[in-house]
């Protein structure tokens, strides 16, 4: 079966850590706990309303977490489940290729984010390029800033996601070190 990640990276796929290569050829379910953070005061109130609409928990602190990662010939799919009940699914569709300066378009509900990729140190760091809501481009000055990536440290997968808004600052984030549960996800 064709794999969108392998096709997009081409020969540069080898720049990724071998465990990230395995994750993106076989798919997997990773789990453990993540630490959820929100902004403070009014920002916290706004961010809790936003994440509720995406299906994520609205309480800060450590929660059980799992992510199923699988691929098709046309997409990379992440289904993140927080606290066993809140699932947020994103589809990532490739545009062009890594060597052509391509990017991925992440779709989560009505939000679409164009993301480039850095493979520095064998890790996978998303590099935000643009954002749209309900297919309408958001002007750069109003973009939410998304910082997200995955790395392998001591044989474990580390994830971190942070979202900030202009003027308001940090609104939401989560991070954790995850283990593969051994179940291969067919995709």
Number of domains the chain is built from: 1
Residues 126, 146: contact at Cβ < 8 Å? Answer: yes
Mean pLDDT of all residues in the chain? 91
pTM of the model: 0.87
What does the pLDDT look like over 133-164, one tens digit per residue? 999 999 988 888 899 999 999 889 999 999 99
Q: What is the CATH number of the domain that holds 85?
A: 2.40.128.20
Q: Is 185 inside a domain boundary?
A: no
Check pLDDT > 50 for residue 186.
no
Banded model confidence at residue 65, pLDDT cuts 50, 70, 90: very high
Q: Is 132 inside a domain boundary?
A: yes
Q: Which residues constitute the domain of residue 127?
A: 4-180
What are the CA-CA distances from residue 22 to residues 59, 87, 185 (Å)? 33, 24, 12
Q: Is 119 inside a domain boundary?
A: yes
Q: Is 186 inside a domain boundary?
A: no
């Amino acid at each position: 079966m064709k794999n969108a990640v392998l096709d997009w990276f081409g020969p540069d796929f080898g720049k990724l850590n071998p465990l990230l290569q395995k994750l993106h050829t076989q798919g997997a379910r990773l789990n453990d706990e993540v630490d959820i953070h929100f902004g403070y005061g009014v920002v916290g109130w706004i961010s809790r309303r936003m994440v509720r609409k995406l299906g994520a928990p609205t309480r800060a602190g450590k929660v059980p977490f799992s992510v199923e990662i699988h691929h098709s010939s046309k997409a990379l799919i992440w289904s993140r489940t927080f606290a066993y009940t809140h699932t947020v699914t994103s589809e990532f569709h490739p545009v062009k290729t890594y060597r052509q300066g391509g990017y991925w378009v992440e779709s989560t509900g009505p939000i679409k984010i164009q993301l480039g990729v850095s493979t520095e140190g064998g890790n996978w760091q998303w590099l935000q390029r643009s954002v749209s809501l309900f297919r309408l481009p958001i002007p750069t000055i109003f973009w939410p800033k998304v910082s997200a990536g995955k790395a392998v440290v001591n044989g474990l997968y580390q994830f971190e996601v942070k979202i900030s808004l202009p003027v308001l600052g940090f609104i939401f984030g989560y991070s954790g070190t995850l283990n593969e549960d051994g179940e291969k996800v067919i995709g």
